[in-house]
Chains A and B, each alone.
Chain A
Amino acid sequence: MVRSLLSPAARVSIHREKGHCAKVGILAALLAFTAVSSGVCADKPAWIRTDNTTRNAPTTPKPSQTVDGKPYSRPTDKSHAQHVFWGDTHLHTQNSFDAGLFGTRLGPADAYRFARGEEVISSSGVPAKLRRPYDFLVVTDHAEYMGMTYSLLEGPPELMNDPIGKKWYDDFHSSDPSPLFTVNGTDIMNGTHTLKNDALARSGWQRALDAAEKYNDPGRFTAFIGFEWSSTPQGDNLHRNVIFEDGADKAGQVLPASTLDSQDPEHLWKYLADYEKKTGGHALAIPHNSNLSGGLMFADKTFGGKPLDRAYAEARAKWEPVAEIAQSKGDSETLPMLSPDDDFISTERWDKTNIMGNHIDTPEQQPFNYLRPALNRGLKYEKKFGINPFKYGFVGGSDIHNALSTVDANNNFGVNYIGEPGPERLKVAPAILNPETKVGMSFVLDMQSAGITGVWAAENTRQSLFEAFRRKEVYGSTGPRMTVRVFAGWHFKPEDATRSDFADNGYANGVPMGGDLSGAQAGQAPTIVVQAAKDPDGANLDRVQVVKGWLDAKGDTHEKVYDIAWSGDRKAGADRKVPLVGNTVNVKDATYSNSIGTATLATEWTDPNFDRTERAYYYLRVIEIPTPRWTTYDTVRFGGTLPDSVPATVTQRTYTSPIWYTPKPAA
């Protein structure tokens, strides 16, 4: 799709010559692009060719990427990541039991079609088409009772011959299917398995496999096979999305791991290990909504209650390279009570209870619900075990349940059937109060229109994108498709931030997001170079920030947010904080203006407080100027009054995966 940033040496000869398919192929490999024209061999002359065999080809990046200290040994592409691919790692369709019960009538195939830009008719009967199609999608339907509502609609013998199945069928077709919501909820909370039927489970999984195989289109659109493992012990959210690198030939050899078999994440990791052993394939897990985990997601003990040990850290680091930091049910970065000096924590917070709303979060639990404190404590564990169990890169996912992944605030198709667009949706959706806690969140109003993942990869294929997830060269956004590129190294100079061969230079002399630095010499400090561009159809950028966390000699962790690039001629105050950019949002009309902020930011930054004996991590946060929240757009589009329980404006943002520093090379 996009051919790019040739190094100067390779860019030399732009001349006209007869088109040769073979050369197109070489060029394709060289530039690591994919897609359209590589599959179509032109007879007519082409215009751009480089004589790459006799001149210096773009430097193949040296293996600066490591995973947990070891070089990433999987086969790599001939060239490095040239292009950012956008997609959703977290989407539900009718194949999820809860979504089907909520009224979703679009399945995995519809979800892939919609994501790649085709028009579909939504469950509520509205034609829907994505303005900017995605490059990839993972349909992650709940493993538990996958496909059940299809069976309940159809009533196949394997359902009807089962007394419980028959009862479910009757409940489903009654005017009050609430017993099914209840049984699904209690089974998932208690890990019980009321209707155990392998034939039904297989048919749900087969639907998922078939759809992904049908719509996967290497080079053009990647349809990943995946599922969600929905462990919710006593109402606390330990959910993980599983993504397979492979096709149905391998993923079809197993059934999805179900929390009805075990609620313990270590069981899921064993499932993944067994899968790889059995099939030779590859898969990984992405935790999400740690903010709703009741203090369990990043706890200092295992699910079984034991202290963490090295084996646990190894497994967790291996199977969970990235975590979801932004999604419809809030961001999971941090909270003001955990990071009091941070002025830019997302206002999209689900921080009152666990996911079922049946217990209220205590202040003691909050550090275990958020990623930044988990990254901090990960440094301690790494010191102790030599491996970091919480070494997470970041992705964004929508967790939308109506098969239509939409993350633009002004084009929000809703998270579920009742939340699809219409004048009623802001009115009919009060918070669902848990009867025990009397606390709750609205599954319409409180949902944010997020999130989405940017992936730096060589080409748009399952393999190439999957490898990027494994090496954490990915970033999460609350919606805007900002292009953000970052490298860290020891020798970057200020002018490196603005060179036109930014990426080639970055790979040659540093590590990208998700990478590792180690063993600083005396007097050295890590230098970060970054280039960020706004969403071309979105709002301007306010600032780029570095979030640093570190572990001191006494064993205490610290964190600090640095403003490193910003728009205009604002001056940092005595506290080194840059003043607010302003706010152009006109709430009455749901408009904003790009008269503040800037389109691009590029800078170089050296850690001013670096101690080479201390473990540390650095990640970037790129902040947009304030824009209307989706509810504000809705109020204007459909009329009515602005809901006062949610903010009228938001600051959308992007979180890059961190880069870690360890004092000496990891073992």
Chain B
Amino acid sequence: MASLLRDPLSHFLLIAAALFLIWPLISDRVAPPPNQITIAPPQVQRLIAVFYKTHLRMPNADELSALVEAEIRTEIYYREGIALGLDRDDEIIRRRIAQKLQFMTQDVADRQTPTDTDLQQFLDTHKNQFGAEPEFAFSQIYLNPDRHGDKIAQDAERLLIRLNTSDGRIDYAADSDPLPVPNDFELTSVDGIANVFGEAFAKALTELPAGRWVGPIRSGFGAHLIIVRDKREATTPQLSQVRDAVVREWQAARRDEANADTYRDMRAKYVIKVELPPERGGQPNEGAKK
């Protein structure tokens, strides 16, 4: 722990934190002298507001001047404390500063506005996220293994021949065993099919030829004869059709990336050494504190 605090990471955080905390004081001056303390109007307003909340009246001149003096005193003690490095071994300050910087650097992407080019690129590389999955229209006849037993392959074969040679009429009541899912599916996404029949079935179905009864294909329920009636290849929707969704996902992706980048960049500035205590029994943290 102590070695971590000696490394440059804490110094960087310190600088960032100091910048953050002091920024209101210096924001209207590009480079104020290091020993200058400015109490700006927003700060005074905050002091007054806090006073008002407690006393339910405005402070008089003396009171206000006392408030400002207290603020200056805090600032001076703060700066001197920093100069002495008092923050370094303080876990509370360390954590608070780290959290603050994390908070500042996160979610920045939410505020960015993507261009059409950004969005088009994102759409091209994330087609599946925007309803462009391949879709299949099909019908299925269910054969329950408990009902057909050993004859299931035979029964399936016989039924297949009849289905493919008759006039296309289907009698689900006679041929399909009871299952509380539909026999006929219009164009349905592979995910949608997987939700009803399971993943293995959905995958198998995507590879079937269209236009004739085939099978049996296995699902979690048993065996199925299938006819794929229509197939829509995965297409990229027009940006105009899915713009809101793309903006949403673009921002989410940017945010994750930005958060990761920020941390990676910062981390790249450091040489990090982790020295684990020698392996031995006893308490997990024994030795870590030295």
Q: Which residues of A line the B interface, CB within 8 A?
A: 1-6, 8, 11, 14, 27, 31, 33, 35-37, 39-40, 42, 46-48, 82, 86, 109, 113, 117-118, 121, 131-133, 153-154, 157, 160-163, 173-175, 214-215, 217, 220, 481, 483-485, 497-503, 531-538, 567, 598-600, 602
Smallest CB gap from B54: residue in A: A163
Closest chain-A Cβ to B243's Cβ sits at a distance in Å of 13
Interface centre among B103, B182, B189 (most CB of A within 10 A): B182
A2 touches B146 (CB 8 A): no
- Which among A36, A498, A534 is the interface contact of B131 at CB below 8 angstroms? A36
> Bound complex: CA of A484 vs CA of B180, how far in Å?
7
Q: Report if B38 contacts A (CB, 8 A).
A: no
Contacts of A8 in B (CB 8 A): 173
Interface residues of B in 181-230 (CB under 8 A from A): 181-189, 191-192, 194-199, 201, 219-222, 229-230
B230 touches A499 (CB 8 A): no
Q: Given A5-B182, A14-B229, 16 more contacts at CB 8 Å? A: A36-B188, A46-B187, A48-B137, A48-B230, A131-B199, A133-B195, A163-B54, A175-B91, A498-B177, A499-B173, A500-B178, A531-B178, A537-B220, A598-B146, A600-B178, A600-B180
Q: Report if B129 contacts A (CB, 8 A).
A: yes
- Which among A36, A163, A217, A538 is the interface contact of B53 at CB below 8 angstroms? A163
Q: Give the interface segment out of B25-33, B62-70, B244-252, B264-272.
A: B244-252
> Bound complex: CA of A617 vs CA of B187, how far in Å?
40
B53 touches A162 (CB 8 A): yes
> Bound complex: CA of A476 vs CA of B207, how far in Å?
35
B188 touches A47 (CB 8 A): no
Contacts of B192 in A (CB 8 A): 1-2, 35-36
A-B contact pairs, 17 of them (CB 8 A): A1-B192, A2-B192, A3-B184, A39-B131, A40-B237, A46-B230, A113-B252, A132-B194, A157-B46, A161-B53, A215-B248, A483-B181, A499-B173, A533-B179, A536-B196, A599-B145, A600-B177
Closest chain-B Cβ to A578's Cβ sits at a distance in Å of 16
A173 touches B49 (CB 8 A): no
Contact A538 B220, CB 8 Å, known A1-B188, A485-B180? yes
B232 touches A4 (CB 8 A): no
Closest chain-A Cβ to B69's Cβ sits at a distance in Å of 20
Closest chain-A Cβ to B44's Cβ sits at a distance in Å of 13
Contacts of A501 in B (CB 8 A): 173
Q: Report if B77 contacts A (CB, 8 A).
A: no
> Bound complex: CA of A500 vs CA of B178, how far in Å?
6
B178 touches A602 (CB 8 A): yes
Q: Report if B105 contacts A (CB, 8 A).
A: no
> Bound complex: CA of A528 vs CA of B70, how far in Å?
78
A2 touches B185 (CB 8 A): yes
Interface centre among B54, B196, B198 (most CB of A within 10 A): B196
A173 touches B95 (CB 8 A): yes
> Bound complex: CA of A502 vs CA of B177, how far in Å?
12
Interface centre among A37, A160, A220, A535 (most CB of B within 10 A): A37
> Bound complex: CA of A132 vs CA of B49, how far in Å?
52
Contacts of B172 in A (CB 8 A): 500
Closest chain-A Cβ to B247's Cβ sits at a distance in Å of 10
> Bound complex: CA of A42 vs CA of B229, how far in Å?
15
A118 touches B135 (CB 8 A): no
- Which among B50, B96, B184 is the interface contact of A48 at CB below 8 angstroms? B184
B131 touches A500 (CB 8 A): no
Instruction: Return the CB mask of B166-180 against A: 1 if under 8 Å, else 0.
Output: 001000110011111
Smallest CB gap from A599: residue in B: B221
Q: Report if B121 contacts A (CB, 8 A).
A: no
Closest chain-A Cβ to B110's Cβ sits at a distance in Å of 10
A6 touches B230 (CB 8 A): no
Q: Report if B92 contacts A (CB, 8 A).
A: yes
Smallest CB gap from B175: residue in A: A500
Contacts of B236 in A (CB 8 A): none
> Bound complex: CA of A497 vs CA of B180, how far in Å?
10
Query: What band does the interface of chain B fall in when counting residues whose beta carbon is under 8 Å from A?
Result: 35 or more
> Bound complex: CA of A4 vs CA of B176, how far in Å?
14
A161 touches B49 (CB 8 A): yes
- Which among A4, A40, A162 is the interface contact of B181 at CB below 8 angstroms? A4
A536 touches B99 (CB 8 A): no
Q: Report if B10 contacts A (CB, 8 A).
A: no
> Bound complex: CA of A86 vs CA of B232, how far in Å?
25
Smallest CB gap from A46: residue in B: B230
Q: Report if B144 contacts A (CB, 8 A).
A: yes
- Which among B146, B197, B232 is the interface contact of A567 at CB below 8 angstroms? B146
B144 touches A220 (CB 8 A): no
Contacts of B131 in A (CB 8 A): 36, 39-40, 220
Contacts of A113 in B (CB 8 A): 252
Contacts of B173 in A (CB 8 A): 8, 499-501
Q: Report if B256 contacts A (CB, 8 A).
A: yes
Interface centre among B176, B187, B222 (most CB of A within 10 A): B187
> Bound complex: CA of A2 vs CA of B99, how far in Å?
47
B220 touches A536 (CB 8 A): yes
Closest chain-B Cβ to A406's Cβ sits at a distance in Å of 16
A599 touches B222 (CB 8 A): yes
> Bound complex: CA of A109 vs CA of B247, how far in Å?
14
- Which among A121, A157, A481, A498 is the interface contact of B178 at CB below 8 angstroms? A498
Instruction: Return the CB mask of B39-70 against A: 1 if under 8 Å, else 0.
Output: 00000001001100110000000000000000
Smallest CB gap from B168: residue in A: A14
B180 touches A534 (CB 8 A): no
- Which among B176, B180, B188, B252 is the interface contact of A532 at CB below 8 angstroms? B180
- Which among B183, B187, B222, B252 is the interface contact of A118 at CB below 8 angstroms? B252
Closest chain-B Cβ to A251's Cβ sits at a distance in Å of 20
Smallest CB gap from A219: residue in B: B131
Closest chain-B Cβ to A111's Cβ sits at a distance in Å of 13
B248 touches A3 (CB 8 A): no
Closest chain-B Cβ to A441's Cβ sits at a distance in Å of 25
A533 touches B181 (CB 8 A): yes
Contact A175 B95, CB 8 Å, known A536-B201, A600-B179? yes
Contacts of B197 in A (CB 8 A): 536
> Bound complex: CA of A599 vs CA of B180, how far in Å?
11
Contacts of B191 in A (CB 8 A): 117, 133
Contacts of A498 in B (CB 8 A): 177-178
Contacts of B137 in A (CB 8 A): 46-48
Contact A2 B95, CB 8 Å, known A214-B248, A536-B198? no
> Bound complex: CA of A9 vs CA of B256, how far in Å?
53
Contact A11 B232, CB 8 Å, known A47-B137, A533-B179, A537-B199? no
Closest chain-B Cβ to A492's Cβ sits at a distance in Å of 14
- Which among B53, B144, B182, B252 is the interface contact of A3 at CB below 8 angstroms? B182
B53 touches A6 (CB 8 A): no
Contacts of A532 in B (CB 8 A): 180
Contacts of B176 in A (CB 8 A): 500
> Bound complex: CA of A535 vs CA of B201, how far in Å?
13
B92 touches A175 (CB 8 A): yes
- Which among A35, A154, A502, A567 is the interface contact of B180 at CB below 8 angstroms? A502
Contact A4 B182, CB 8 Å, known A36-B187, A537-B220? yes
Contacts of B146 in A (CB 8 A): 567, 598-599
Contacts of A567 in B (CB 8 A): 146
Contacts of A217 in B (CB 8 A): 245
Contact A36 B189, CB 8 Å, known A14-B168, A599-B222, A600-B178? yes
> Bound complex: CA of A564 vs CA of B86, how far in Å?
74
Pick the 9 closest A-B CB pairs, nearest first. Answer: A4-B182, A536-B198, A536-B220, A531-B180, A500-B172, A3-B186, A173-B96, A37-B187, A498-B178
Contacts of A157 in B (CB 8 A): 46
Interface centre among B53, B173, B178, B230 (most CB of A within 10 A): B178
Contacts of A133 in B (CB 8 A): 191, 195
B186 touches A33 (CB 8 A): yes
- Which among B92, B178, B194 is the interface contact of A173 at CB below 8 angstroms? B92
Interface centre among A40, A535, A536 (most CB of B within 10 A): A536
Smallest CB gap from A12: residue in B: B169
> Bound complex: CA of A163 vs CA of B219, how far in Å?
62
